[in-house]
Amino acid sequence: MKNGSPILSNVLKGFLLIAGIAVTTTSFVLINNSYRFSDNLNNRLERAKVLAQPFEARTHVGSQGVKIPYRLLKPVDYDPNKAYPLVIGLHHGGGHGTDNALQIESSPYAQMLSKNENRRNYPAFIFVPQCPPGFTWGGIPNQSDVATLVFEAVDELEKEFRIDEKRRYVIGLSMGGYGSWHFISVRPKMFAAAIPICGGGNPDLAQSIIDVPIWAFHGEKDRSVPVSLSRDMIKAIRDAGGNPQYTEFSSAGHDIWNQVNSTEGLLDWFFEQKLE
């Protein structure tokens, strides 16, 4: 037959349908997992406001008028004559909004880095943007992202404060894990290191990030973001000549924040990285 076997055609259609459903389902979970918290949204918001208090509330307005709220925590005893690292903390899907608070509650790493002990040991600017509803940080198929707005906001901060351009870092989980992979893939020379957690990236871009220090994490039994996505990225980077670190927690699911936080030497490794 000129158009090929109808059986094979139906098999192919079925495969594509399943693949499409898988991508759509993952995207829906990542972008809309805030609905899991809808019953206690008011409680979350109250807690978020408390957690966000140490951070200054700010807003960046893009050239197209799209606004991106963000929180900024300056280094303790900030000295304008010194240059400091900048950490971009990307929240998971539960931090979407315009309240400029939920992103702190949805980013365990912003909370971790804002502790007095860590602020003293690792003085840095902690920049925590909030993704507007309907957008992502990037890297999720068929979804609009606000990565460019985040980069613009960073540019503004670097004009206002002494930020070390050789020590920009990004860390994120779930949707933020996708964003971390995406950020370093589209701006590989911008970042000194990245910690993508239970996210996924584009293996076709692995060659561009072989020189970026990466420590990725994933749970073996993750049902929200398949562990294969991290494995594929790590393999692609190693095959291209890179040397990323990868920690996979056996029998763990999607919620691996505590295991990551307790990883020995993680922050020392993170802040030791510096662009050549």
In a domain, 14, yes or no: yes
- pTM for the structure as a whole: 0.87
In a domain, 156, yes or no: yes
* Side chain identity, residue 52: A
In a domain, 63, yes or no: yes
Asked whether residue 11 carries a pLDDT value surpassing 70, the answer given is: no
Rounded CA separation 19/15 (Å): 6
Total domains in the chain come to 1
CATH of the domain at 110: 3.40.50.1820
Site of tokens 């404060």: 161
**Whole-number percent of the chain with pLDDT over 70:** 86
Asked whether residue 37 carries a pLDDT value surpassing 70, the answer given is: no
Asked whether residue 17 carries a pLDDT value surpassing 80, the answer given is: no
Using alpha carbons only, how large is the chain's radius of gyration in Å? 19
Q: Residue 158 belongs to what domain range?
A: 6-272
Q: What is the pLDDT of residue 30?
A: 54
In a domain, 247, yes or no: yes
pLDDT in tens, 185-232: 999 999 999 999 999 999 999 999 999 999 999 999 999 999 999 999
HSE at residue 134, side-chain half, CA atoms within 13 A, is: 4
Average pLDDT for 134-163: 95
- Non-local (6+) Cβ contacts of 177 within 8 A are 90, 196, 197, 198, 199, 200, 225
CB 107 within 8 A of CB 101: no
Site of tokens 């910690």: 195
pLDDT in tens, 76-105: 999 999 999 999 999 999 999 999 999 999
CB 208 within 8 A of CB 236: no
CB 90 within 8 A of CB 172: yes
In a domain, 231, yes or no: yes
In a domain, 1, yes or no: no
Rounded CA separation 45/25 (Å): 26
CB 146 within 8 A of CB 132: yes
In a domain, 98, yes or no: yes
Cα separations (Å) of 190 from 98, 127, 150, 170, 242? 27, 15, 12, 10, 17
Q: What is the pLDDT of residue 80?
A: 95
Rounded CA separation 114/122 (Å): 10
Q: What is the pLDDT of residue 63?
A: 81
Rounded CA separation 248/272 (Å): 22
Asked whether residue 35 carries a pLDDT value surpassing 70, the answer given is: no
CB 85 within 8 A of CB 124: yes
Strands 67-73 and 56-61 turn out to be antiparallel
pLDDT in tens, 158-182: 999 999 999 999 999 999 999 999 9
Asked whether residue 32 carries a pLDDT value surpassing 60, the answer given is: no
In a domain, 77, yes or no: yes
Sheet holding 245-249, edge to edge: 56-61, 67-73, 125-129, 84-90, 163-173, 193-197, 215-219, 245-249
